[in-house]
Chain A
Amino acid sequence: MPVAATESFAKNTVAAIQEYSLLAGRAVANMFSPPIYWADIFTQMDSIGVGSLPIVILTGFFTGCVLALQSETALQEFGAVSRTGSLVALSMVKELGPVLTALMVSGRNASGMASELGSMKVTEQIDAMRALGTDPTRKLVTPRLVATVFMLFFLTIISDAVGIAGGALVSVAMLNLNATAYIHSSYASLAYGNIVEGLTKAIFSGFIIATVGCFYGMRTQGGTQGVGKATTQAVVVSSVFIIVVDFLTSRLMISIFGS
């Protein structure tokens, strides 16, 4: 019995990986052949990008604030409180901005995609779409993929900026640092490689959020209970993938640009 269960689990896992790869591959390939559903892309950009703006701004801002506040104790030991700007900027741009933004967008949109597509699946709307001559991957997945990758890139930039601004506010108002010194320290510490690293992570994360969210939505089974399960799985899996890919990207970027 345990052998059969292990075999079944292994087969299901391999089938799921194959299914995910095919879906992601088709979603990317659809970008390069007509028809391209521009209206759906812009609708998704509005929903995913503009809709996520408040949570991304709030998260980024307070992350920058707390980063400045917490780093003061450690930097004070080395007499380097003036380097707070540098620490906040590097942490935000390389790591916290892209990862936290991706996790917030994942929580909001991977779940949204899984539940929306899952509901369409269990109510036969996806079959109806195919019956009416439309490829659901082209109509539903590709626009979400394009919109998420594109908008997460800019959301990450916004998150970085407000994070650094939040750090500046705390440094000036609570740590009595000089605003000009903070900004100069932040600006001077950022190298081209740091920005490329952060934004590369945003692109990978956008891809993960959209493909994982749509994958779980498109394979939903079993009515409303299935929709709930798909939603949970989409958020959990995309969040874990984001962290794993963050590590791998960091390692790759260090090997390319150095530390």
Chain B
Amino acid sequence: MPETVESPKPADTPEDHTPVVVFDHVSIQFDRNPVLRDISFTVDRGQTLIVLGPAGCGKSVLMKLANGLLRPDSGTISVFGERIDNLPDRDLFKIRSRIGMVFQESALFDSLSVEDNIAYRLHEERMPESEAHDKVVEALHFVDLDHAIDKFPSELSGGMRRRVSIARAIISDPDLILYDSPTGGLDPITSTTIIELVVKQRDESHATSLVITHRLQDAFLIARNRFNPEANKMEEIPDGGIDDTTRFLVLNEGRVVFHGNTLELVHTEDPFLKDFIS
């Protein structure tokens, strides 16, 4: 039976037990169609929550709720200990400065170069140009796209766009990263590259993250792998180990049908879940 492996923690991380994300009885509907119903869960600091579920079950809506891009019809949402479901947009911007988000279709700004896309937040914060450039170079190096700095989004492949989107999300070292189907629409090899970046970011920055995916193999790759900085690549945790910070949330028809760790998911007796993960 595989064992959970404790992830290395950064030495200077102060102990803070406030959950980073809290959903409490959250519901939302569009045009009288309920999309999420009575959703409750918490994500603790340093955790990676993988959100699974069939297409159209409300995963992306959940992600937008977590970033304040949508407001729930009922229930409360707290991020970094602060309620965001009733905050005006102006106050949300301060909280969003601590959140990085990777969108389903990358959502890069067509009219801006890769450098300007990645540095967008830094430019908004009026960071000096040379300092912003250095950070962009560093972020592009992280996603292994050093050569693409002067390109425009239209010149990039789907996988490259997704990597630029990850670079844009991590440029300001966010405390929470939201990945909305980072591998959606990509071929298996490119998907693995993207998952490797998610694992690398998890193990190097220890940021809390929510990862939406509809591909089980991606979810289990995140749970069963770690990033080896010496080899600069992802590798399986020895002895079939499982990363202890990775948890799963499974949605179906707008409701939470599972919230727990990898082992609990694998050994579930729930017929829907057994069918879903088989």
Determine whether A189 belongs to the interface, using a CB cutoff of 8 Å to chain B: no
* Interface segment, one of B37-45, B94-102, B256-264: B94-102
Q: 0/1 per residue, A43-64, Cβ < 8 Å to B?
A: 0000000000000000000000
| Cβ-defined contact, A125 with B110, below 8 A | yes
Determine whether B216 belongs to the interface, using a CB cutoff of 8 Å to chain A: no
The one of A119, A127, A132 in contact with B121, judged by C-beta atoms closer than 8 angstroms, is: A132
| Cβ-defined contact, A124 with B121, below 8 A | no
Alpha-carbon distance A252/B104, docked complex (angstroms)? 51
Alpha-carbon distance A120/B111, docked complex (angstroms)? 10
Shortest distance in angstroms between A203's beta carbon and chain B's nearest beta carbon? 28
B-contacting residues, A94-145, CB 8 Å = 119-120, 123-125, 127-135
Shortest distance in angstroms between A220's beta carbon and chain B's nearest beta carbon? 15
The one of B69, B105, B108, B109 in contact with A131, judged by C-beta atoms closer than 8 angstroms, is: B69
Shortest distance in angstroms between A142's beta carbon and chain B's nearest beta carbon? 15
A-contacting residues, B193-225, CB 8 Å = none
- Chain B residue at minimum C-beta to C-beta distance from A130: B69
- A127: chain B residues within 8 A (beta carbon): 64, 69, 103, 107
Alpha-carbon distance A119/B153, docked complex (angstroms)? 14
Determine whether B6 belongs to the interface, using a CB cutoff of 8 Å to chain A: no
Shortest distance in angstroms between A43's beta carbon and chain B's nearest beta carbon? 9
- A128: chain B residues within 8 A (beta carbon): 101, 103, 107-109
- Chain A residue at minimum C-beta to C-beta distance from B122: A132
- B89: chain A residues within 8 A (beta carbon): 130, 135
Alpha-carbon distance A125/B112, docked complex (angstroms)? 12
- B67: chain A residues within 8 A (beta carbon): 131
Question: In the complex, which of the residues B67, B90, B101, B104 has the most CB atoms of chain A within 10 Å of its own CB atom?
Answer: B101
Q: 0/1 per residue, B150-183, Cβ < 8 Å to A?
A: 0000000000000000001000000000000000
User: Are A133 and B105 CB-contacts (below 8 A) given A125-B110, A127-B64?
Assistant: no
| Cβ-defined contact, B96 with A132, below 8 A | yes
- Chain A residue at minimum C-beta to C-beta distance from B111: A116
Pair count A-B, CB < 8 A: 48
- Chain A residue at minimum C-beta to C-beta distance from B96: A133
Alpha-carbon distance A132/B121, docked complex (angstroms)? 6
Q: 0/1 per residue, A223-250, Cβ < 8 Å to B?
A: 0000000000000000000000000000
Alpha-carbon distance A180/B68, docked complex (angstroms)? 67
A-contacting residues, B76-116, CB 8 Å = 89-90, 93, 96-97, 99, 101, 103-105, 107-110
User: Are A133 and B107 CB-contacts (below 8 A) given A127-B64, A127-B69?
Assistant: no
| Cβ-defined contact, A124 with B124, below 8 A | no
The one of A119, A120, A124 in contact with B103, judged by C-beta atoms closer than 8 angstroms, is: A124
Alpha-carbon distance A120/B109, docked complex (angstroms)? 8
User: Are A131 and B99 CB-contacts (below 8 A) given A124-B104, A124-B105?
Assistant: yes
- A123: chain B residues within 8 A (beta carbon): 105, 107, 110
- A132: chain B residues within 8 A (beta carbon): 96, 120-121, 124, 168
- A125: chain B residues within 8 A (beta carbon): 107-110
User: Are A133 and B124 CB-contacts (below 8 A) given A127-B69, A128-B109?
Assistant: yes
Question: In the complex, which of the residues A120, A127, A129, A133 has the most CB atoms of chain B within 10 Å of its own CB atom?
Answer: A133
- B108: chain A residues within 8 A (beta carbon): 125, 128
- A119: chain B residues within 8 A (beta carbon): 110
- B109: chain A residues within 8 A (beta carbon): 120, 125, 128-129
Shortest distance in angstroms between A224's beta carbon and chain B's nearest beta carbon? 13
- B93: chain A residues within 8 A (beta carbon): 133-135
- B90: chain A residues within 8 A (beta carbon): 135
Q: A131-B96, A133-B121 are in contact. List 18 more A-B contacts (CB 8 A).
A: A120-B109, A123-B105, A124-B104, A124-B105, A125-B107, A125-B108, A127-B64, A127-B103, A127-B107, A128-B101, A128-B108, A129-B109, A131-B101, A132-B120, A132-B168, A133-B93, A134-B120, A134-B124
Closest 8 CB pairs of A and B: A128-B107, A124-B107, A131-B101, A133-B93, A124-B103, A132-B121, A125-B107, A133-B96
A/B interface sample: 10 pairs, CB < 8 A: A123-B105, A124-B107, A125-B107, A125-B109, A128-B109, A129-B109, A130-B96, A131-B103, A132-B124, A133-B97
